[in-house]
Structure 1
Amino acid sequence: MFDLRIQRPTRVLGQLALSLGLLALASVAASVQAASSSPAATVAKAPAPVVSPVGNAFFTRFGDNDGAWMDYDSRTLRDWSDPSTVISSWVRVAQPGKLSVALKASLPQGGASTLRLSVNGKSVPIKLSAVPGPVASLASFDIAQAGYVRIDLQGVSRTGPEFAVVSGLELGGTAAPGLVYANDAENYYWSRRGPSVHLGFTTPANTEYFYSELTVPTGEDTLGSYFMTNGFNEGYMGVQVNGPNERWVLFSVWDPAVGSTTLLRKGPDVITNGFGGEGTGGQSHLVFPWVAGNTYKFITRARPDGQGATDYSAWFFAPELGQWRFIATWHRPNTNTWLKGAYSFLENFYDENGFAGRRALYGQQWAVSSTGVWTELNKARFTVDATGAAKQRMDFAGGLDASGKFYLRNGGFFNETVPANQNFTRPLTGMQPQVQLNTLP
């Protein structure tokens, strides 16, 4: 058992000015003597990486009676009291080697706790006590290969109301150089959600309809996922996992710079409202129990009304229904355009579930011109959002699947990152969809 003697905090809990870890891992920069013919000089060592729980950790198991939470203001894990709760962090190492792990935390005066620290499944017990004294090492672990490493913390016993207030994990050792983890404190919310990935398509001039197909493989439909299929410059359409027992078909159109998007028509059982947050606009959704493993079809339409506005419509086809369902038509003023900027994306909108992965296959894509000409789209550009581009998270991929379909993947801390900003081409099928656009409901 490792005995970590935690120094008492000198201020309130929000002020965690502690140095907890190996002396070799101390966050205070050390200096070393330089060997040269010139007078002795000192060179400051780079501080050891400190992995914040707020940006990098998740409750992968949550006790029924726990009140634990991530405090964004103090950037700490607080009120952690249930021994069944597991807090998991992921970091990506650039090479195999030794990974030293020290805990930055505080306990109330006189408190004592025992924790279990695990790295890639190998566990050691840690004893914490809030008494003055030198800081001891936690543990060092062998990392066999480059890639993501999982670090788990679980409470075993405590004398106080909580196991500890945790402000971070201090990492070192030969596996630590080049470490990738979320270190942009202003964007911890986005790093917790994980990287969003996109496929961009080029449509011919005067495209009126965009048709696409989506298959979510079994087991990849995790909570908080948005599988967006039919995006365009002014809006988007796709399916979401909104809750354990609720799923949506969603179609939204942004407001223009001047004026507001308004509803013209909606289909049966479709719910409509405005939306805010990341912009404003009109939103419509159909609660529908779509199923992973099935293939669904989507059509969006953009048609100028000849009076300085454009009407946007959407339809959804489920094999369970055997027919097209009309979602809605939205009227966007001060907009005169056919459908442009066709794209698809995959994102997680539930940050507490940001450790879970998801994957989607994007099958056929077709554009239909205002004169009724169908064109198969078989070229896509794969991109990633700022979270991935800044290497806050590297669990993203996209491109061409072995089945000949485009795919997108994110979350789950997998190692097979696909570099973004690449173009991919799938084989042409030549199988024009059998749908009569002029008879759509």
Structure 2
Amino acid sequence: MKQKTLLATLLAIGLASHHVFAQTPTVTLPGFTAYADPAEENVEINYKNGVVDWTGNSNTVNFYFHVASAGTLQVSLQAKSDAESKISVAVNGTEKTISIPNNNDYVAVPALQTKIKTPGFYCVSLKGISKNGKVYADVKGITLSGTATRDIQYNPKPWRRAASVHLNYPVPDGKNVEWFYGEIKVPAGEDKLGTYFMSCGFHRGYFGMQVNSPTERRIIFSVWDAGGEPEERDKVKYEDQVVMLAKGDSVIASGFGGEGTGGHSHWVYDWKASQNYRFLMHSVPSGTTTTYTAYFYVPEHHEWKLIASFRAPKDGKYMGHLYSFLENFSFENGHLGRKGYFGNEWIKTNTGEWIELTKAKFSNDATAKAKDRIDYGGGSENGWFYLWNSGFKPANAQYGDLFERPATGTPPVIDLPKF
């Protein structure tokens, strides 16, 4: 009887332990999902090996995650170094300095424990303190355990861009969209590197403005080929290729691949935050082709500029699926918040009727759908639609949400250049 009682007790303890373990999983934030602040310098975030070549201590290496439940959180590193070093580890107001051993293989290095009181986004920050070798540490991952890891969210993939978000504009049934007009205003400080603010998108292309480098910004217009080739344009049959018919002065035009293929054009233009910019698309169907032409209003010159005109094969219809989007196309700063305002959208039909677009349906990309990133949103404020992504703050919109802005009632006045 005593033996049966002992076995029952041990079984109960085992089941209880299993229940606790099942409810408090151990998760590892991959090293390749880290970000370096203020810049990815003197450290590399490698998509295979995580944090490597970390030689400088002027920045921090940061790992972000979202906690759904309050509770305890234990943090350890999967790390190694070429000689013993010291780094600080900080999260939730708790900070510890730990030693990274000289080792050829990654080892588990316990760091700290903290208590998470409020669900939300958190960040494990690493900073170099001292080193005897070349690097502070190579970090393969950050391991989290404890009751706060229940339903934890983090990005498990090396895709470090923020989720792309879109505004889809419903068009009244039976209306042919010959012209599509829209405006963009980017608040000061939201014009981060690697951002595309796209105003006038349609079923075959997109037209907007980008931040390409610290010294270069562009107005971008592209149209996709027919045929569906995903990567290499030289594999696209000639009869499926978009053909450039015209381009504006100083506009650069070429083919593109890598995200579908097509015709690309851009004009290097130093657009400014906090200023309104105007975009205009034109479509002319003819048989089985459609010619798409993009114009950008240059406020300094008080005139519309031709960006480019492309003839798209296997089309033959007016613009459809009208939308705007906000995209982060750089990996290094995919943690920095971005926001853009999109407004005063109008269409003009082939019969000359102006129609104001005051409603927009919110959507997002595969990164959001997979819940790899959950920091994004949009809405309507101050007479504009807006979109935002990144910054590791709670989403304020979900796929399919419908936004509405007040109508202005005044169509745009457009005086295009004569050729």
TM-score of the superposed pair, with normalisation by structure 1: 0.84
**Corresponding residue number in structure 2 for 1:265:** 246
Q: CA deviation at 1:161?
A: 2.2
**Corresponding residue number in structure 2 for 1:284:** 265
Query: What letter is aligned with 2:91?
Result: V
Query: Mean Cα displacement is larger for which, 40-49 or 199-208?
Result: 40-49
Q: Find 2:85's aligned residue among 103, 109, 113.
A: 113
Matched, 1:178 2:134: no
Aligned partners of 2:77 and 2:109 also within 8 Å:
no
> Given the superposition, is the C-alpha separation of residues 321 and 89 from structure 1 closer, same or farther in structure 2, using an over 3 Å criterion?
farther
Q: Find 1:137's aligned residue among 110, 114, 130.
A: 110
Q: CA deviation at 1:440?
A: 6.2
Q: CA deviation at 1:98?
A: 3.0
> Given the superposition, is the C-alpha separation of residues 275 and 80 from structure 1 closer, same or farther in structure 2, using an over 3 Å criterion?
same
Aligned partners of 1:33 and 1:42 also within 8 Å:
no
Write the deviation string for residues 235-281 of structure 1: whole angstroms up to 9, x where unpaired: 00000000101100000000112511011011111111111110111
**Corresponding residue number in structure 1 for 2:3:** none
Q: How many residues align?
A: 393
Q: Within 2, Cα distance between the matches of 1:319 and 1:228?
A: 18
Query: Mean Cα displacement is larger for which, 363-372 or 46-55?
Result: 46-55
Matched, 1:124 2:96: yes
**Corresponding residue number in structure 1 for 2:129:** 156
Aligned partners of 1:112 and 1:160 also within 8 Å:
yes
Q: Where does 1:30-429 land on structure 2 (aligned, <5 Å)?
A: 34-35=11-12, 43=18, 45-46=21-22, 47-55=25-33, 57-62=34-39, 66=42, 68-73=43-48, 75-108=49-82, 111-120=83-92, 122-130=94-102, 137-183=110-156, 185=157, 188-189=158-159, 192-204=160-172, 205-257=175-227, 259-305=240-286, 307-401=287-381, 403-429=382-408
Q: Within 1, Cα distance between the matches of 2:148 and 2:300?
A: 51
Write the deviation string for residues 168-190 of structure 1: whole angstroms up to 9, x where unpaired: 1111233221111012x4xx22x
Q: Within 2, Cα distance between the matches of 1:146 and 1:120?
A: 11
Partner SS state of residue 128, structure 2: strand
Q: Within 2, Cα distance between the matches of 1:325 and 1:346?
A: 23
Structure 1 residues not aligned, in runs of 5+: 1-31
Query: Mean Cα displacement is larger for which, 428-437 or 222-231?
Result: 428-437
Query: What letter is aligned with 1:170?
Result: T
Query: What letter is aligned with 2:126?
Result: L
Aligned partners of 1:394 and 1:417 also within 8 Å:
no
Q: Where does 1:11-30 land on structure 2 (aligned, <5 Å)?
A: none
Query: What letter is aligned with 1:165?
Result: D
Query: What letter is aligned with 1:52?
Result: P
Q: Within 1, Cα distance between the matches of 2:28 and 2:84?
A: 23
Aligned partners of 2:40 and 2:332 also within 8 Å:
no
Q: CA deviation at 1:308?
A: 2.0
> Given the superposition, is the C-alpha separation of residues 335 and 416 from structure 1 closer, same or farther in structure 2, using an over 3 Å criterion?
closer
> Given the superposition, is the C-alpha separation of residues 425 and 34 from structure 1 closer, same or farther in structure 2, using an over 3 Å criterion?
farther
Q: Within 2, Cα distance between the matches of 1:341 and 1:255?
A: 17
Q: Within 2, Cα distance between the matches of 1:193 and 1:135?
A: 28
Q: Within 2, Cα distance between the matches of 1:168 and 1:62?
A: 20
Q: CA deviation at 1:96?
A: 3.4
Q: Within 1, Cα distance between the matches of 2:86 and 2:17?
A: 40
Identity among equivalent pairs (%): 38
RMSD: 2.4
Q: CA deviation at 1:40?
A: 7.3
Write the deviation string for residues 113-167 of structure 1: whole angstroms up to 9, x where unpaired: 10011224543211222489x9663111233422211211111111222222211
Partner SS state of residue 137, structure 1: strand
Query: Mean Cα displacement is larger for which, 168-177 or 44-53?
Result: 44-53
Query: What letter is aligned with 2:47?
Result: Y
Query: What letter is aligned with 1:102?
Result: S
